[in-house]
Amino acid sequence: MKIYEIEISREALDKMPVAERTFLLAAAHALNEINTLIKFFRWADPTADGAGNDPHGVQARGQLVMSLVTMRLLVGKLHEAYELIRKGYLANQLSKTFNAKLDADAMASLDALNKFFGKKNYLTDVRNVFSFHYTPDQYREQFAKVPQELELAVLAAYDGLNTLFEFGEAITTYTVMSYLEAATQEEAISKLREQSLYVHAHLNRFLQAVVSEMVATYVGATLNELPHKIHEFNAPSSLSISIPFFVELADELAREAAASQEAGSETHG
């Protein structure tokens, strides 16, 4: 794999108009977050090709929870990334300067995003309730609707980091299902996955295009034309990666977990 390291000078950033510089920095940050979360979401999937040996199915249950948690965070960040475009690019009139410089693919992605977020969608619904907020009232209202036969469990280990409160995720997921008008957990996950992958692809294409054009405009060269260093190394295949929930803790993590538990016992004892 080749990675190109391109230096962006502070002097060039200082010379940019405030609106452009602010959007550029925020867009770069947003791209890092959504691209990181999309990787975590894929690699925590218990059905991924890289999933390891799991004879009891316990690791898969932990990975499913990680996948759902990551999906809700991703949904929230995708929504916020579009809000950045709406408030920092469209409302700030940057579109009048840069739209004409963008290629047809980038403009098609902007149009797709405007249409998607211009109407009711599952991502906004989930973001507003589940991505960043813990709302006791929501659980109070929805708990009565949870079927009696829903399986609830705790998968407990010798340390807090490896204890999975599966029942909390089961009830949260059931509550999300009601927002998505989904009959099953699989249907709810499918709906969110489909919309998340669609929006991520368009956000990634549009924001990277704008970042590249802003750099070209104010630095004087495109990212491909700027001086760079090349780093070559063997990167793993994405298909070989699977993130487990349950892990044997290394000495440092084990000590931290034990110290946390001891501190808690002293505080509450």
- CA-derived radius of gyration, the chain: 22
pLDDT of 264 above 60: no
Report the pLDDT value the prediction gives residue 194, as an integer from 0 to 100.
94
Look at residue 182 and give its three-state secondary structure. Answer: coil
Report the pLDDT value the prediction gives residue 204, as an integer from 0 to 100.
97
Report the pLDDT value the prediction gives residue 90, as an integer from 0 to 100.
96
What pLDDT band is residue 252 in, cutting at 50, 70 and 90? Answer: low
pLDDT of 53 above 80: no
**168-204, pLDDT tens digit by residue?**
888 888 888 888 888 888 898 899 999 999 999 999 9
The token pair at 64 is 């499913």
> What residue ranges do the domains of the chain occupy?
2-268
More confident residue, 14 or 137: 14
What pLDDT band is residue 36 in, cutting at 50, 70 and 90? Answer: very high
Report the pLDDT value the prediction gives residue 260, as an integer from 0 to 100.
63
Question: Would you state the torsion angle of the CA atoms of residues 247, 252, 257, 261, taken in this order, to the nearest 10 degrees?
Answer: 150
Instruction: List phi, psi (to 5°) of 259.
Output: -65, -40
